[in-house]
Structure 1
Amino acid sequence: RGEPTAEGFPVSVLHQMSSHAEPEVLLEKVGRAGVITMNRPKVLNALNLTMIRQIYPQLKKWESDNETDIVIIKGAGDKAFCAGGDIRAVTEAGKVGDSLAQDFFREEYILNNAIGSYRKPYIALIDGITMGGGVGLSVHGRFRVATEKTLFAMPETAIGLFPDVGGGYFLPRLQGKLGLFLALTGFRLKGRDVQRAGVATHFVESKKVPCALSCWFKSLCALFLKTISLLFSVSCPNSVRLFSASSVEGIVKNLKTDGSEFAKKQTETLSKMSPTSLKITLKQLQAGASLSLQDVLVMEYRLSQACMRGYDFYEGVRAVLVDKDQNPKWNPSTLEEVSDQMVEQCFSSLGEKDLTL
């Protein structure tokens, strides 16, 4: 489903060419560079299972191909790199017990792991909206290049989910409590701040992207990245220290005690999120801080399936993406009602259904 044919065209592209439909993923060789373009600009390049099944085998082929030096991944259009996974399809599948609810997360996380362990330079051009599944396609690679149009967020707690795709690995490794702040609140980082936070490794103005690409195509990636790297000494915003507590209730108490405009805004934001998601996310990041990416993905697969079995994910998607009333009725509805035992159960082994990497 995406491995090249003898003619050198990906099977997926050949199929789409014959049916005159736009391919969802473009897989090309430009010189010694393998180029992946997510090609669903009308839906902000949202990632679906078909795309995952095209990208993964091609990545593995290029990794062992002596004619390929680097891999570049980018999004079509001028709005998004990838705004996330195709959550609505997963929601519908979960409601009726369709296997997509397992397959999507399993194969997405296997792809995330392949990117995290890739043996060749992997360059993600995160020009535009980069959220959720788009973060998983970029943040574990060696180079992440932001532009002034980059908009980064992990907004999953607003839909009864958690910052997955390896969020439990990279978020706790950001400075101070910045990762926890981003994970719980879904706060949006823009432009240069994406690099300052440590999410992107480099920054380049979007108008210079074509020049950057031409250099990468000539396999000058290491040299060129040095020239565009703008190193900042960025300290975590002082106010993020308020997220230094061992419980979500403790964080809320810190914010209310502080009383600053920043604290008031974050208190309001957290009050809208799924209480269950907030508690799962805190434990996810606490555990992930000392785990390998592989172990984090195994943990997150267990969490994904717990969310599929639960209530809040379906209610969150309804309120935010379907009916768009922005008024989810969470169950449980308060932090106090979410017991430690309820949280622990979400992390339980799935036995033979666990993710294996």
Structure 2
Amino acid sequence: MTEVSTVLARRQGAAGRLTVNRPEALNALDLRMIRAMLAALDEWESDPAVTAVVLDGAGERAFCAGGDIGVVHSSAVGDPAVAWALWREEYRLDARLARYPKPVVALMDGITMGGGIGIGAHAAVRVVTERSVLAMPEVAIGLAPDVGGALLLARAPGELGTHLALTARRAGPADAIHCGLADHYVPSAELPALVDDLAAGAPVEPAVAARASDPGPAPLAAARCWIDDAYGGTTTVEDVLYRLEAIDEPGPREAAAAITAAAPTALKVTLRAVRRAREMTSVEECLRQDFRLCSRFLRHPDLAEGIRAAILDKDRSPRWRPGTLAEVDDAAVEAFFAPLADELTLPEQSTLWSDHR
């Protein structure tokens, strides 16, 4: 039997085509896939015939649902070195895509979560469709947003990014564009024609704009007032919950319920991470922070328990340790951010992340 490649890297005219090809796992990334993508990007960078890179996912359900959660779980209960190796290469890929000297067009059609945000939302041109669902749902499994996601969320209008981070809320195409996680809405039926345009050598921005349309109103824009009030200021997670629970409306009630169900330690670390990311100027800085946080969570009991409850047993009844926000003190949170003996190293670039948009 011929083995099916989990990354399809090929030339189509002037476009380098990268397709994550693991639809049975919602195109979740494993180490071999990450390395294959890095190799293709290295090859195309010096190929003058390639003027743009198009990144998409196989199937109609997902662009990429994240990193391989099975690897993370086995590392959390066994050998952490396996997850460390995955994250080091994954974060290198995220930074590479953010800095790539040729335009990368990410077609985030379908489920795009966690590691999918890492490979898609740092690209030069980010496209969503009517099927797109974007999220950083890490607090629900006892982890903090990684893959540079805290930086993206920190740049969202007002406190929308904090809201998305603490509730693990999913964003549709209009919300994704409003929050700065995507740039253009293109109906999925138009994607083949868009790829053909790029393969023919059409300039990227005009080609995408010609196929784009209005995604409609963003629900989060309408909720901005109560979200900014609840999450704003030098606040704690406890403060956020108190303010949300004081608003007798469906949106705040749903947000409070989502936060209450998440891991207390992950919530407090996530709030600190997003606040710190507001002062960052490069994706590399955020990725180094992410590696510190994930390395610490890998040895924390909540990560294995969160994956068990949400992914493996699916009982949705995690037993967090500690089980309440009050039991997570500032010193415990700050310890997640301390330097590691073996830090993540990434090439420093002269162009700032903020200049990339």
What TM-score results when the alignment is normalised by the length of structure 1?
Answer: 0.91
Q: Which runs of at least 4 in structure 1 moved beyond 3 Å after TM superposition?
A: 228-236
User: C-alpha distance in 2, partners of 1:193/1:285?
Assistant: 19
Shift of 1:271: 0.7
Given that residues 75 and 298 in structure 2 are in contact (C-alpha distance below 8 angstroms), is that contact kept between their aligned partners in structure 1? no
Q: Which amino acid aligns with 2:248?
A: G
Q: Which amino acid aligns with 1:309?
A: R
- Give the secondary structure class of the aligned counterpart of 2:19: strand
Find the partner of 1:201 among 165, 174, 183.
Answer: 183
Instruction: Give matches, 1:1-357, under 5 Å.
Output: 20-220=2-202, 221-230=204-213, 235=221, 237=223, 238-241=225-228, 242-245=230-233, 246-291=235-280, 292-351=282-341, 353-357=342-346
Q: Which amino acid aligns with 1:137?
A: I
Shift of 1:21: 1.2
User: C-alpha distance in 2, partners of 1:104/1:212?
Assistant: 32
Given that residues 146 and 202 in structure 1 are in contact (C-alpha distance below 8 angstroms), is that contact kept between their aligned partners in structure 2? yes
Given that residues 80 and 298 in structure 2 are in contact (C-alpha distance below 8 angstroms), is that contact kept between their aligned partners in structure 1? no
Q: Which amino acid aligns with 1:239?
A: W
- Give the secondary structure class of the aligned counterpart of 2:315: coil
User: C-alpha distance in 1, partners of 2:13/2:324?
Assistant: 56
User: C-alpha distance in 2, partners of 1:167/1:191?
Assistant: 17
Shift of 1:148: 0.3
CA RMSD, Structure 1 to Structure 2 (Å) = 1.5
Aligned length: 338
Gap regions ≥5 residues in structure 2: 347-357
User: C-alpha distance in 2, partners of 1:258/1:66?
Assistant: 57
Q: Deviations over 1:222-266 (max 9, x none)?
A: 221232345789646222112214211111111112222211111
- Give the secondary structure class of the aligned counterpart of 2:120: coil
- Give the secondary structure class of the aligned counterpart of 2:86: helix
- Give the secondary structure class of the aligned counterpart of 1:29: strand
Q: Deviations over 1:154-200 (max 9, x none)?
A: 11100001111001211110111111111110111123332233211
User: C-alpha distance in 1, partners of 2:207/2:56?
Assistant: 18
- Give the secondary structure class of the aligned counterpart of 2:311: helix
User: In terms of mean alpha carbon deviation, does 261-270 or 236-245 score higher?
Assistant: 236-245
User: C-alpha distance in 2, partners of 1:194/1:201?
Assistant: 8
- Give the secondary structure class of the aligned counterpart of 2:37: helix
Q: Deviations over 1:298-328 (max 9, x none)?
A: 1110001000111100000010011110000
Shift of 1:289: 1.0
Q: Deviations over 1:48-95 (max 9, x none)?
A: 111001111211221222121000110001110001111112210232
User: C-alpha distance in 2, partners of 1:268/1:139?
Assistant: 27
Given that residues 45 and 75 in structure 1 are in contact (C-alpha distance below 8 angstroms), is that contact kept between their aligned partners in structure 2? yes
Shift of 1:98: 4.6
